Structure 1
Amino acid sequence: MSHNHTDQQDAGHRHDEGDTARFFTQDFWEDRYREGNAWSGNPNPVLVQHATPLRPGTALDVGSGEGADAIWLAARGWRVTGADWSSSGLESSARTAADAGAEIAGRITWRQADVRTWDPAPERFDLVSAQFMHLPRTELHALHRTLAAAVRPGGTLLVVSHHPADRESSVGRPGSADLFATGEEMAVVLDPAEWAVIEVSAPERVGVDPEGRETVVRDAVLRAVRTG
């Protein structure tokens, strides 16, 4: 289960196809975070774009990694739950949050959980964000239904993934095509009667491929606002 923060070089996401099965084990992510500095330390830009206009409230950062998104939100007044499979990632997150100051760290609760089975409770959060979590389609839809249920009336669901088109670019993406969905494909789990806004997009940005060359990559974005 990839909870990647992708604002660093995309080359960091390239693995041999044979490694793909390990993505769905806790040991893989424990090893990744024990190596240190798996990601850039910057918040994901799509989160920054969509969360900046929102009034701070309660937020859930799913697959929180090394904590950049949770810390960015907390610095802007949000009360954040950062959930991740990896205890090593959460320990790194807590240290980084402490370095950012007691006020920011005090707004964040770190939660170790396998988000494929964890239920965060219905209608609890004003913002639920899942950035770059790749699962087989059936598990992905089940996760997105759970996350959608956790959004309060008037709250926002934001899901960002690597777009399937990236598999054809030089940056490449490991794993089967089943692990990559468009915004439209992610949105099928939402009942339009329950959401005032359902918006999908595929913004482009500059990434770096495994050979160090700049290349254009695309994100799959789903933003929805619950009727409220």
Structure 2
Amino acid sequence: MDNRAWDDRYADADLVWGAEPNRWVARETGPLPPGRALDLAAGEGRNALWLAGRGWRVTAVDFSSVGVERGRRLTAEAPAEVGGRVTWVCADVLAYEPERGAYELVLLSYLHLPAGERGPALRTAAGALAPGGSLLVVGHDTTNLTEGTGGPKDARVLFTPADVLADLAGAGLEAVRAERVLRPVPQPDGRTVDAVDALVLLRRPAG
């Protein structure tokens, strides 16, 4: 999917993903002491603004100009002490070159790319980690196609925790967590169905 498709999607709705942070981002990053964070494929900024509210200085990157503009507007509407901690960048993560070794947290939340593009994007993200920094990768697991709900229907852009670990082999990171997790999704008929997500948390050794 190209940026024009995402521009259209963001233009058609108020907030595509809502205002609350992703549950796994909140769970895994909540205990971390704030520092510099890089949110790649940030969308409208729900995770970036949540992190900023917890004291992080966040660089939020997305290739949709509509999504970035909405994120900037939400940032401007946030309390000054929160909005002042978020910097927006409109760029494709496949071409974006973040400052190396500069971030205590790098986040890729539901960035779905073919395997040949996912690996380079993950390695670029890993290169931006400071010593002691954490890399959190969350997305729709491959098994979500048959066992879950929602998400992309193209298996080529889905991944498993093992895929992420293989992509980052040799990047000098230590795996903290690599697992499939179930995310409850309310349905129009009042039922709740679980989506299957892949969650990988890695850390660069401090010394």
**Normalization by structure 1: what TM-score?**
0.84
Residues 15-68 of structure 1: CA distance to partner in whole angstroms, max 9, x if unpaired?
xxxxxxxx2x11101111112321111101111111111110000011111111
What does 1:114-125 align with in structure 2 at a 5 Å threshold?
114-125=92-103
What does 1:122-201 align with in structure 2 at a 5 Å threshold?
122-169=100-147, 171-191=149-169, 194-201=172-179
What is the total number of aligned residue pairs between the two structures? 205
Structure 2, unaligned stretches of length 5 or more? Answer: none
Please tell me whether the aligned partners of residues 126 and 151 of structure 1 are also in contact (alpha carbons under 8 angstroms).
yes
1:196–1:42 CA distance, 2 compared to 1 (3 A): same
Distance 1:210 1:136 in 2: 31
Does 2:86 correspond to 1:108? yes
Distance 1:40 1:177 in 2: 25
Q: CA deviation at 1:212?
A: 6.6
Please tell me whether the aligned partners of residues 205 and 216 of structure 1 are also in contact (alpha carbons under 8 angstroms).
yes
Q: CA deviation at 1:209?
A: 5.3
Query: Secondary structure of 1:188's partner?
Result: helix
1:118–1:215 CA distance, 2 compared to 1 (3 A): same
Does 2:174 correspond to 1:220? no
Does 2:32 correspond to 1:42? no
Q: CA deviation at 1:190?
A: 2.3
Distance 2:99 2:67 in 1: 23
Please tell me whether the aligned partners of residues 197 and 226 of structure 1 are also in contact (alpha carbons under 8 angstroms).
no
1:154–1:215 CA distance, 2 compared to 1 (3 A): same
Query: Secondary structure of 2:134's partner?
Result: strand
Query: Secondary structure of 1:56's partner?
Result: coil
Distance 1:27 1:210 in 2: 29
Instruction: Give the equivalent residue in structure 1 for 2:31.
Output: 53
1:156–1:170 CA distance, 2 compared to 1 (3 A): closer
Q: CA deviation at 1:165?
A: 1.2
Query: Secondary structure of 1:47's partner?
Result: helix
Distance 1:94 1:206 in 2: 29
Instruction: Give the equivalent residue in structure 1 for 2:9.
Output: 32
Distance 2:148 2:37 in 1: 35
Query: Secondary structure of 2:44's partner?
Result: coil
User: For the aligned residues, what is the CA RMSD?
Assistant: 1.8
Q: Please tell me the residue identity of whatever aligns with 2:3.
A: Q
Q: Please tell me the residue identity of whatever aligns with 1:179.
A: V
Q: Please tell me the residue identity of whatever aligns with 1:66.
A: E
Answer 1 or 2: higher relative contact order, Cα 8 Å, separation at least 6: 1
Q: CA deviation at 1:162?
A: 0.4
1:212–1:178 CA distance, 2 compared to 1 (3 A): farther
Q: CA deviation at 1:192?
A: 5.8
Query: Secondary structure of 1:135's partner?
Result: coil
Distance 1:74 1:181 in 2: 28
Please tell me whether the aligned partners of residues 60 and 129 of structure 1 are also in contact (alpha carbons under 8 angstroms).
yes
**Normalization by structure 2: what TM-score?**
0.92
Question: Which stretches of structure 1, 4 residues or more, deviate above 6 A after TM superposition?
Answer: none
